Amino acid sequence: MTSTERIAIGAAALLGVVACAGAAGPAAASHAATPAADATGAAECTLRVPTPDDAERAEPGDVVCFTADLADERLVITHGGTAERPITYAGDGAAVDGITIEADHVVVEGYRAERPEAPGVVMEGDGITLRGVTVTSPEGGDGDGIRFFGDELRILDNVVTDTENTEGRHADCMQTYSDDSPPSRNVLIEGNRCEGVDNMGLMAEGPNDGEGDGEGTTSDFVIRDNWFETLDASQALMFEDVQNVTITGNTFAAPTHHAIGLAIGSTGAHVGENEYDPGIGYEVGIDESSLPGYEGPEPGGEP
């Protein structure tokens, strides 16, 4: 695209000609100069393209909207921006058959996935934000709602409902591990809702949990202001070989045996100001290897 074309299209966007239209719109790409925020705080589209294959033309800072109907396709994101100017992929409520993110410095927001192939969402990369996404009844595999791997990850204001432990699954709302995948570091999990989840709200395993040959360190999680309804697990949150976890302001809404488990060197955990269902046996279970640096309620027993 020439500079003259970009300026002309940018001027049209400022006049309101270019707007995010969800799954409707022209087949050709439209590119605006600068994203603007609407009344809800969502950014308007600066690039409209039919499918994710056409998103390679996106530039750092763009807000990409897809004009094709992707309800029967898995949304696969492979093109990212920069740390200072991530590329945003805005769904505006559009349906997709699950999401896979394999890119750095992207924001993926506003999609819904009903009965996608599990995991409903997979995030792998650095500087990824997943925001305002709904995953309902993921099917197959282990039945997980969201899996994440990488550094500087943000999982914000998403909803995962009805994960099922049928056919031997361990259907968690969210999960990370390091067997054959990168460790996860600097992770913020905030404002999410895990509802009707058969297994755990979060299962987090580091590379030295004894189950794989992972390398690196899984560490520095902040888990706050989430709502966990876990129906068929001993605990809502479980950490193995995950260091420096802060767990605060969450609601544990189901009567699990205990709310939080810390094991296999999950040191430096800080726990406080959470709300617990009265049927929960005790708030925190911890093993001896995870005691160094722990701050929080008196542990009630083993994790």
What is the value of pTM for the model shown? 0.85
User: Does residue 150 lie in a domain region?
Assistant: yes
Which residue from 206, 200, 205 is spatially nearest to 228, judged by alpha carbons? 200
Residue 198, C-beta contacts closer than 8 angstroms, at least 6 positions apart: 143, 163, 164, 165, 169, 171, 230, 231, 232, 233
For residue 75, being part of any structural domain is answered with no
pLDDT at 41: 43
- Segments forming the whole domain that contains residue 146: 115-290
Instruction: Give the Cα separation of 165 and 144 in Å (integer).
Output: 10
> Which two tokens mark 8?
């002309």
Residue 48 located in a structural domain: no
Check residue 42 and give its pLDDT.
Answer: 55
What is residue 212's predicted lDDT score, i.e. its pLDDT? Answer: 56
Neighbours of 294 (CB within 10 A): 17
Residue 174 CA to residue 160 CA, distance in Å, equals 9
Phi-psi region of 93 (alpha: psi -120 to 50; beta: other; left: phi over 0): left
User: Longest C-alpha distance within the chain, in Å?
Assistant: 68
Task: Identify whether the C-beta of residue 192 lies closer than 8 Å to the C-beta of residue 226.
Answer: yes
Residue 221 falls inside a structural domain: yes
pLDDT given at position 179? 74
How distant, in Å, are the alpha carbons of 78, 148, 165, 294 from that of 140? 24, 18, 10, 37
Tell me the Ramachandran region of residue 73: left when phi exceeds 0, alpha when psi lies from -120 to 50, beta otherwise: beta
The count of structural domains within the chain is 1
- Please report whether residue 51 resides in a domain: no
pLDDT digits (tens, 9 = 90+) for 211-231: 656 678 999 999 999 999 998
pLDDT, position 21: 39
**What is the per-residue pLDDT for 216?**
85
pLDDT of residue 211: 62
116-144 pLDDT, tens per residue?
Answer: 999 999 999 999 999 999 999 999 888 89
Q: What is the pLDDT of residue 148?
A: 97
Closest Cα to residue 118, out of 97, 146, 138, 148? 138
Asked if the bond preceding 60 is cis, omega within 30° of 0, the reply is no
Q: Is 227 inside a domain boundary? A: yes
DSSP 129-177: EEES-EEES-BSTT--SEEEEEEEEEEES-EEEEE--GGG----SEEE-
Instruction: Determine, yes or no, domain membership for 42.
Output: no
Structure tokens at 15: 């006049």
254 CB neighbour count, 10 Å cutoff: 19
Q: Per the structure block, which two tokens stand in for 13?
A: 């966007």
Please state, in angstroms and rounded to a whole number, the distance separating the CA atoms of residues 101 and 123. Answer: 5
Q: What pLDDT shows up at residue 54?
A: 95
Q: How far is CA 190 from CA 98, 131, 225, in A?
A: 21, 10, 6
Q: Which residues of the chain have pLDDT under 70?
A: 1-43, 210-214
Reduced to 3 states, what is the DSSP secondary structure of residue 10?
helix
Which helix H or strand E contains 9, and what residues bound it? helix 3-14
User: CA 253, CA 233: separation in Å to the nearest integer?
Assistant: 13
pLDDT at 286: 98
Domain assignment of residue 11, yes or no: no
Contact residues for 112 (Cβ-Cβ < 8 A; gap 6+): 91, 93, 94, 95, 96, 133, 134, 135, 136
